[in-house]
Amino acid sequence: AQTVTQSQPEMSVQEAETVTLSCTYDTSESDYYLFWYKQPPSRQMILVIRQEAYKQQNATENRFSVNFQKAAKSFSLKISDSQLGDAAMYFCAYRGGQGAQKLVFGQGTRLTINP
Amino acid sequence: DTGVSQNPRHKITKRGQNVTFRCDPISEHNRLYWYRQTLGQGPEFLTYFQNEAQLEKSRLLSDRFSAERPKGSFSTLEIQRTEQGDSAMYLCASSLEGWSGRGELFFGEGSRLTVL
């Protein structure tokens, strides 16, 4: 079974600085997808960024980028120019290929932004 | 469209009672998912529907749990004979078939269950 591990329960960063959240996963599949979801306090979870395993290029969405290391099974999220609105729980998630529908989530990292 | 809607947002019940949660997905989405999230943990997959068909169920979904999606629109998740271990946030999400584009799941705000 696939597993996703986030080893940082909490992280904090100064506003306007850069922070990196770590994620590792375990799978025997070669075709899969990786995601970072953001869950603000008392609000719904939203997709931040996604990466297809077959793509070597790291995904980027504005201030959010990933460092995808397939051989190491590592998928970190970098947030540049941190803003107060970035404060949330961040979950790394895995989905298998070939029509798989289930997302496997990590335990989450709580990110605090210090003004 | 206001997104995925879940009701009730919070339910407090006594052990042994039955509870039902409702999820209204985004109208054009034909896939609907239920996840459970306990405090300090990531969401865990429970089940998913494509239209009205329930296509996958997790082993977490014991016999006391049942989910339906009549007519492929809204969905209900019923928990019978609740136990204290059922206390959690129950999340509903929806998506379009094929995971095309960003492959995005759209989540509701969740229904929090507290079993006393």
Tell me, what's the pLDDT at A43? 87
Query: CB under 8 Å to A20, separation ≥6 — which residues?
Result: A67, A76, A77, A78, A79
pLDDT at B60: 83
**Structure confidence at residue B103 (pLDDT):** 63
CB atoms within 10 A of CB B54: 17
Q: What are phi and psi of A87, to 5 degrees?
A: -65, 125
Tell which residue, B115, B94, B114, B116, has the closest CA to residue B6. B94
Measure CB to CB from residue A103 to each of B4, B105, B108 and give the nearest one.
B105
What's the confidence (pLDDT) of residue A109? 98
Judging contacts by C-beta atoms under 8 Å, the chain A residues touching residue B45 are: 102-104
Output the pLDDT for position B78. Answer: 97
Question: Do B107 and A46 lie within an 8 Å CB cutoff?
Answer: yes
Q: Name all contacts of B59-64 with Cβ < 8 Å and 24+ positions apart.
A: B60/B36
- pLDDT at position B42 is 94
pLDDT at A98: 72
Closest CA to A104 of B58, B81, B24: B58
- DSSP assignments along A29-59, one per residue: -SSEEEEEEEE-TTS--EEEEEEETT--SPP
- For chain A, list residues with pLDDT below 50: none
A90, A102, A104, A107: best to mutate for the B interface, most B CBs within 10 A: A102
Measured distance CA(B92)–CA(B108) in Å, rounded: 6
Output the pLDDT for position A94. Answer: 95
Facing residue for A50 by CB, picked from B31, B102, B107: B102
CA distance A61 to chain B (A): 11
d(CA A35, CA A43): 18
Residue B104: per-residue pLDDT: 81
Q: Beta strand B111-115 with B10-13: parallel, antiparallel or unpaired?
A: parallel
How far apart are the C-alpha atoms of B36 and B8, rounded to whole Å?
15
Q: How big is the A-B interface in CB pairs under 8 Å?
A: 54
> Does B88 have pLDDT greater than 90?
yes
Q: Collect all residues of chain B within an 8 Å Cβ-Cβ radius of residue A93.
A: 42
**Token couple for B78:** 């019923």
Cβ(B106)–Cβ(B29) under 8 Å? Answer: yes
Residue B107, token pair as written in the block: 């989540």
Residue with the bigger pLDDT between B30 and A14: it is A14
Distance CA B39, CA A41 (A): 13
Per-residue pLDDT at B100 exceeds 60: no
Q: What pLDDT is attached to residue B110?
A: 96
pLDDT for B1: 54
| Chain B contact set for A4 (CB, 8 A) | 42
Whole-number Å distance between alpha carbons of A15 and A86: 9
CA distance B99 to chain A (A): 9
Shortest CA gap A19–chain B (Å): 21
Q: Is the peptide bond before A9 cis (omega within 30 degrees of 0)?
A: no
Q: Which residues pair with A19 in a beta bridge?
A: A79
